[in-house]
């Protein structure tokens, strides 16, 4: 049966890229299929979340609050923290043995995150994609809404599913999951540099719009966003070689739920100043209410913890028959 699964790491505050690339689509999918949304705290300790237990605990609540503030409805969707459901770790171990070293070696996100000194990265960062495959397949999820940067990990998830099914001769046991990469905001770039992804880890706070930014901050960051000196182009082709203009137009399209072509047509030949004013108004209208709602939710951590605990119980119940069957298939039955 169709089932949606997705997750975000509780490292730093969520930003506009997380919202437009993923979260916004998560909210929409709730009307179409059952959905499971996870705060992936086990992934967080593979790198920057390691060694800061209090910060991690707080960040999990913040991310849960951001999901709800953006429109994830915990009475309809399952919302929980990854570490609360041990089946993820159990299946990840099996997948570590299914996947090949060569597959892990190809992962570009590992290369980016490990940086120059690969030997100093955690082993967890290296096996990260196998845990991600386990997150998805322990629910036999069929659809995974994410931004474009997760595409390679989802291809690996399909490879793991297929190899498991073949190696153990259990055709169709794990589904071949479909990535859901939709809308104009699947790859939101830095506001300071159109060649870099908008990212939680960028040193410059001006490079991103945080979901916790207030209206003034949102508007200011858009007005100061880098652009080239030319007016907006007459057609989409005119965006070639203009990554900053392209990015702002994509953000406008994603925020207003229209296409890039429509936005280009609307502002054709105009100056950036007027366009930026409209974009700032639009972004404030969409983002500031999320920040406000998040702040309200965070005043009641007990309630957030209750929601997460309730979600973990529901998630564990869905995962239980799958992990039990997977273990039996592998030969763990004592
Ligand atoms: P994470 O925490 O880096 O990002 C969360 C989601 O936000 C999307 N995203 C973006 N989309 C558009 N533009 C950007 N600049 C941008 N930056 C981030 C990401 O594509 C992602 O959808 N490995 C995952 C977390 C994960 C997961 C999973 C996702 C763990 N297990 C299972 C789906 C299913 C990650 O690090 O996302």
In this predicted complex, what is the ipTM? 0.99
For helices 272-298 and 53-70, give the axis angle rounded to 10 degrees: 110
Answer whether residue 189 is part of any domain. no
**Residue 80, domain CATH:** 3.40.50.620
Answer whether residue 216 is part of any domain. yes
Is the per-residue pLDDT at 211 higher than 90?
yes
* Cα(200) to centroid(ligand 1), Å: 11
Q: Which of 113, 163, 260, 314 is catalytic?
A: 113
* Domain boundaries, position 95: 4-180+300-330
Backbone angles phi, psi at 37, to 5 degrees: -120, 130
Let me know whether 51 and 154 are in one domain.
Answer: yes
In sign, the C-alpha dihedral spanning 7, 12, 14, 16 is negative
Answer whether residue 195 is part of any domain. no
Give the span between the Cα atoms of 92 and 141, in whole angstroms.
Answer: 15
Let me know whether 157 and 37 are in one domain.
Answer: yes
- Residue 201 known to bind ligand: yes
Cα–chain center distance at 114:
19
pLDDT over 70 for what percent of the chain?
100
| Whether pTM exceeds 0.95 | yes
Q: 302-314, pLDDT tens digit by residue? A: 999 999 999 999 9
Let me know whether 150 and 50 are in one domain.
Answer: yes
Answer whether residue 197 is part of any domain. no
Let me know whether 221 and 326 are in one domain.
Answer: no
pLDDT value at residue 112 = 92
Q: 274-285, pLDDT tens digit by residue? A: 999 999 999 999
Let me know whether 69 and 99 are in one domain.
Answer: yes
- Residue 199 known to bind ligand: yes
pLDDT value at residue 142 = 98
Answer whether residue 193 is part of any domain. no
197 is catalytic: yes
Q: 21-47, pLDDT tens digit by residue? A: 999 999 999 999 999 999 999 999 999
Q: 152-210, pLDDT tens digit by residue? A: 999 999 999 999 999 999 999 999 999 999 999 999 999 999 999 999 889 999 999 99
Could you give the number of structural domains in the chain? 2
CB neighbour list of residue 299: distance below 8 Å, 6 or more residues apart:
none
- Residue 207 known to bind ligand: no
Let me know whether 241 and 147 are in one domain.
Answer: no
Give 333's pLDDT tier (boundaries 50, 70, 90): confident
Q: Which residues line ligand 1 (CB under 6 A)?
A: 5-9, 17-18, 21-22, 40, 43, 132, 135-136, 144, 146-147, 149-150, 153, 185-188, 197-198
| Residue nearest atom 18 of ligand 1, based on CA coordinates | 18
CB neighbour list of residue 47: distance below 8 Å, 6 or more residues apart:
11, 113, 121, 122, 125
Let me know whether 122 and 255 are in one domain.
Answer: no
Answer whether residue 190 is part of any domain. no
Instruction: Return the residue matching tokens 């072509």.
Output: 261
Output the average pLDDT for the chain. Answer: 96
Which atom of ligand 1 is found nearest the CA of 200? 17
Let me know whether 104 and 27 are in one domain.
Answer: yes
Which atom of ligand 1 is found nearest the CA of 148? 20
pLDDT over 90 for what percent of the chain?
98
User: Which string of DSSP letters, residue by residue, matches 94-127?
Assistant: HHHHHS-HHHHHT-HHHHHHHTT-GGGS-HHHHH
pLDDT value at residue 334 = 77
- Residue 230 known to bind ligand: no
Answer whether residue 185 is part of any domain. no
**Residue 291, domain CATH:** 1.10.240.10
* Cα(330) to centroid(ligand 1), Å: 30
224 is catalytic: no
Let me know whether 56 and 168 are in one domain.
Answer: yes
- Residue 73 known to bind ligand: no
Let me know whether 155 and 280 are in one domain.
Answer: no
Ligand 1 pocket mutation, candidates 49, 146, 207, criterion most atoms within 8 A of CB: 146
Is the per-residue pLDDT at 13 higher than 90?
no
113 is catalytic: yes
Let me know whether 172 and 229 are in one domain.
Answer: no
Let me know whether 285 and 314 are in one domain.
Answer: no
pLDDT value at residue 262 = 96
pLDDT value at residue 220 = 97
Instruction: Map residue 80 onto helix, strand or coil.
Output: strand
Q: 60-89, pLDDT tens digit by residue? A: 999 999 999 999 999 999 999 999 999 999
| Residue nearest atom 26 of ligand 1, based on CA coordinates | 7
Q: Which of 52, 151, 163, 200 is catalytic?
A: 200
Answer whether residue 31 is part of any domain. yes
Ligand 1 pocket mutation, candidates 5, 18, 36, 157, criterion most atoms within 8 A of CB: 18
């Amino acid at each position: 049966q169709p089932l949606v699964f997705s997750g975000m790491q509780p490292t730093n505050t969520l930003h506009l890229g997380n919202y437009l690339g993923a979260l916004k689509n998560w909210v929409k999918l709730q009307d179409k299929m059952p959905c499971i949304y996870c705060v992936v705290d086990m992934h967080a300790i593979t790198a920057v979340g390691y060694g800061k237990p209090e910060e991690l605990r707080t960040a999990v609540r913040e991310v849960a609050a951001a999901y709800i503030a953006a429109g994830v409805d915990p009475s309809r969707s399952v919302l929980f923290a990854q570490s609360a459901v041990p089946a993820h770790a159990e299946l990840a171990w099996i997948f570590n043995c299914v996947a090949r070293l060569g597959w892990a070696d190809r992962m570009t996100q590992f290369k980016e995150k490990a940086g120059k000194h690969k030997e100093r990265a955690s082993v967890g960062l290296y096996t990260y994609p196998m845990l991600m495959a386990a997150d998805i397949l322990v629910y036999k999820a069929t659809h995974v809404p994410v931004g474009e940067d997760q595409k390679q990990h989802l291809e690996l998830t399909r490879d793991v599913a297929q190899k498991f099914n073949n190696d153990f001769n259990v055709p169709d046991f794990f589904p071949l999951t479909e990535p859901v990469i939709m809308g104009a905001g699947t790859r939101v770039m830095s506001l300071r540099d159109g060649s870099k992804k908008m990212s939680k880890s960028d040193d410059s706070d001006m490079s991103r719009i945080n979901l916790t930014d207030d209206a003034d901050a949102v508007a200011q960051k858009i007005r100061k966003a880098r652009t080239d000196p030319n007016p907006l182009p007459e057609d989409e082709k005119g965006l070639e070689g203009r990554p900053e203009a392209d990015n702002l137009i994509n953000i406008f399209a994603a925020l207003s739920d229209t296409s890039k072509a429509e936005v280009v047509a609307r502002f054709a030949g105009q100056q950036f100043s007027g366009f930026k004013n409209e974009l700032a108004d639009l972004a404030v209208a969409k983002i500031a209410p999320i920040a406000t709602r998040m702040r309200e939710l965070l005043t009641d951590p007990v309630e957030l913890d209750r929601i997460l605990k309730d979600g973990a119980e529901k998630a564990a119940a869905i995962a239980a028959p799958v992990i039990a069957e997977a273990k039996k298939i592998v030969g763990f039955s004592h």
